Structure 1
């Protein structure tokens, strides 16, 4: 049944919708992810990107770190290996395509999440796809917002938690011989202590650990590339040729390459799922497009940089062989490949990286699940405690569950989640373009830092209280001097 549903969702419906939204918004926005690529760095280097506002909201940079912590996980290490094993090297090419188009999709969904965020009584914000569906599409579409929240809870709160636990457990088993059951129990205990008590404190620690680990992983990948620099053109051509079926019998041919590239690419960068907007919405920014640009950069980091690093580590090794990798898949393939390049310590390095990535992602998944529950019932202590107990159980169960079962369940729930969100994004194309054009118009007029005026968009049911701009940002807004042609 899982296979049948996956074939329908991923083989027909979602590929069309992902391409339609990604390419459609890329063209309609005049390639916004490329036009504003340099501005991504300027936004993050600006002082306001790091500053907490008077209510202590997340800054733009902190929201980026949290979204990267959530995106970077098993999909970057185990998922890429699965894509290559089942779809061949060509799957990486289609993963790149999904990543580049996904940058536009992420820009759209995160800009909308910022636009339609709501101010809470305690001065914080709430937002995400459920909110831009309910407010942007109107009360008659509230059922879709409720459906999305339920799917987000099942996918991230339940499915992806089990998947991350499995990836961590199998990695530690391969590298250190730790039984998966022991790892599952340990993960359950640690996660239980965190989510029942010190979530915020540990989350702040992982905001430091995950970027450090990501940089460490990339440095190791750079070493591998340097050791095999003469073979890089060969591997790149292998990826491109395989993507269009020009290589002999790799994976399942061009169809498998496209399907695995799309599925694993979306699973890794999450563009179109609507997960990152839940975090992006709670950040303070002077204009919604600011966070859209930053979150587009998050997709670039995840897919074009970290996933590519894993792919080249595997394809540059002698471990990968389409005729003999049936018994070597997932994270074990990545570990064996890195070990061949740098020695046995590489196997342990991948396990430690996956442990940190997976741990932070489980916390991120828990936050998304809790946010979904909040949309249904706010401050229901009994409901939240029941959810926490379920998360603890899933950490133990997921560690001992077959890879195919975990990925199959995650693929199905992720597919329905993406379907609900992509339908909403298509219906909210015009508001998304209006917000982008407001930002672009201010930039074209010479304004250094565009400011969002909610009063100009009263027809969009925006919460004005969520757009109380900080005085220093209003002062920083520089109006252009009048030109001779305008006088």
Structure 2
């Protein structure tokens, strides 16, 4: 019953309008900002390590770490495997396209998050709900903001944690033979210990774990690529040929290839979904465009580096097939390309959900050579590594989900009544995480897709309505950078009528600048 309801809702939410709407949005914003992804690439990296922070806000690097905690997760490993299985190698290209174009959406939403952020109970709070209410104004803005906040709390608090915990449990079971209930208990305890510490605790954990695991993961992929360097040119050619239906084997799934590539690309990098602005708003910066650029760069790290690493390992291993979604008389999927195998369970059922075993097998085969035969029951180095990587990636993603949920609770509920509701959200998220460990992967992914799709719809409409202040902020940053020779000293001083509801930048930040000037004297 639950599967049918979720599937029906997904068919409505994930229509072609959303898939191609996301691509079109990225294209138009990219042209509006004159390919800022390329022009400001070096500036993105420099700003990421700029050390602005305060007791109220976290640094840009901590903010990008929290954002990457949300972006780099199951989608970077299991999601990539799913995309290749359903859409073929060409789906990887459309994940790349979604990342490059999506960086523009990430800039717009994150800059808006900074422009309209608020200081509440000694912490910066912001995100789509905040900029929707402040930007649209009136009852319409408040109602729209509440709807987004409620959908977000439902998505990140209930629907999405299960995807992450399910991947952790299944990979740990495959690699180490651990019972999913043991993983569920461990995750519940660790989550409780950290999320009760608030954004500072979450930022500290994300800052320590995410960069380290990303570097190790990409490093291992680099080693595997070097070992199998002769195969790389052919794999890249396969990705591009199949992306445009040139390769005959994938011509029949061209539409599915684009859709699954965009879908899994969005699930992975979350550009335009509305999750990134929450962490972006928590950063202490002197100009909103600074954090917008940093958040745009996080999309590159997520998809162009981590997802590509996974894709090459899977394609290099040959442990993949693609299906058009149909089945044969014996229940097996229609295979469009026979270049390896699918995962077959002991009962004869075939796994088409894209489990972590594909990536595990890729690493194992890379180190064992062409003689390696894929065995779902075999646990080698690849199995251990992917299980550990997934644990850290997915766990920090759940932490980021909690922070986003808490921020939206703070938006809806008055300060004096928030405590009980925040505790309730913590308990629900922990319960959803435990439930995800023991439920089937297909249900987990279906629920996760529904959550992502609902947030994306609401946020994309909002940033189209409100994008102009973000574009003006970018131009202002560029002008100051040109005048001063660097963007380091850029300070945001908008005119009162430009963003009338941006109280922080009109009142709070100018007071802080005066205090700094007095201290300097």
Superposed pair shares fold, TM > 0.5: yes
Paired residue for 1:335?
360
Moved more, 140-149 or 300-309: 140-149
Aligned counterpart, 1:427: 465
**Residue 33 of structure 2 is aligned with which of 29, 34, 39?**
29
Q: Which residue does the alignment assign to 2:327?
A: none
SS of alignment partner, residue 15 of structure 2: helix
2:500 is aligned with 1:460: yes
Q: Which deviates the most, 12-21 or 405-414?
A: 12-21
Q: Work out the CA distance in 2 between the residues paired with 1:134 and 1:203.
A: 26
Q: Structure 1 residues 456 and 229, CA, compared in 2 at 3 Å: closer, same or farther?
A: farther
User: Take 2:158 and 2:252, find their aligned partners in 1: how far apart are those partners?
Assistant: 30
1:106/1:271 contact within 8 Å kept: yes
| 1:52-451 alignment runs, 5 A limit | 52-53=53-54, 55-120=55-120, 122=122, 124-139=123-138, 140-196=140-196, 200-201=200-201, 203-250=203-250, 253-322=253-322, 323=338, 324-325=341-342, 327=350, 329-342=354-367, 344-377=380-413, 378=415, 379-448=417-486, 449-451=489-491
Structure 1 residue ranges without an equivalent (≥5)? 476-487
String of CA shifts for 1:335-363, please: whole Å, max 9, x gaps: 11111113521210111011011111111
Q: Does the C-alpha gap of structure 1 residues 265 and 108 become closer, same or farther in structure 2, counting only changes over 3 Å?
A: same
Instruction: Note closer, same or farther for the CA distance 1:198–1:287 as it changes in structure 2 (3 Å cut).
Output: closer
CA distance in 2, matches of 1:311, 1:474: 51
| Residue 375 to residue 411, structure 1, CA distance change in 2 (3 Å) | same
- Three-state SS of the structure 2 residue aligned to 1:253 is helix
8 Å contact from structure 1 (residues 116, 462) kept in 2? yes
Shift of residue 381, structure 1, vs aligned partner: 2.2
- Greater alpha carbon shift after TM alignment, 179-188 vs 202-211: 202-211
RMSD across aligned C-alpha pairs, in angstroms?
Answer: 2.1
Match of 2:47 among 31, 43, 53: 43
The CA distance in 1 between the partners of 2:105 and 2:197, in whole Å, is: 35
* Residue aligned with 1:50, SS: coil
Deviations 1:133-163 (A, max 9, x none): 0001112221111111111111111111111
Matched residues in 1 for 2:230 and 2:435: separation?
44
Could you give the per-residue CA deviations for residues 136-195 of structure 1, whole angstroms, max 9, x where no partner exists? 111222111111111111111111111111010001011111122221232223323333
Is the 8 Å Cα contact of residues 96 and 303 (structure 1) preserved in structure 2?
yes
The answer on whether the counterparts of 1:10 and 1:259 sit within 8 Å (CA) in structure 2 is: no
Matched residue of 1:193: which SS? helix
Instruction: Output one character per residue of 1:280-303: Cα deviation in whole Å (capped at 9) or x when no partner.
Output: 001111111000000000000001
- Contact kept? 2:110, 2:280, Cα under 8 Å: yes
Q: What residue in structure 1 maps to residue 332 of structure 2?
A: none
Tell me if structure 1 keeps the 8 A contact 2:124–2:281. yes
Which SS does the other structure have where 2:14 is aligned? helix
SS across alignment from 2:231 = helix
1:445 is paired with a residue of what secondary structure?
helix
After the TM superposition, which segments of 4 or more aligned residues of structure 1 sit over 6 Å from their partners?
471-475
Residue 377 (structure 2) aligns with = none
> Equivalents in 1 of 2:104, 2:110: separation in Å?
10
Deviations 1:248-268 (A, max 9, x none): 444961111101100100000
- So what's the TM-score if we normalise by structure 1? 0.91
Shift of 1:198: 7.8
In 2, Cα distance between equivalents of 1:459 and 1:399 = 45
Q: Larger deviation: 184-193 or 430-439? A: 184-193
Q: Please, what TM-score do these two structures have when normalized by structure 2?
A: 0.86
Separation in 1, partners of 2:121, 2:15: 45
Match of 1:271, SS? coil
For residues 402 and 212 of structure 1, the distance between their equivalents in structure 2, rounded to whole angstroms, comes to 30
In structure 1, C-alpha distance between the alignment counterparts of 2:471 and 2:202, rounded to whole Å: 38
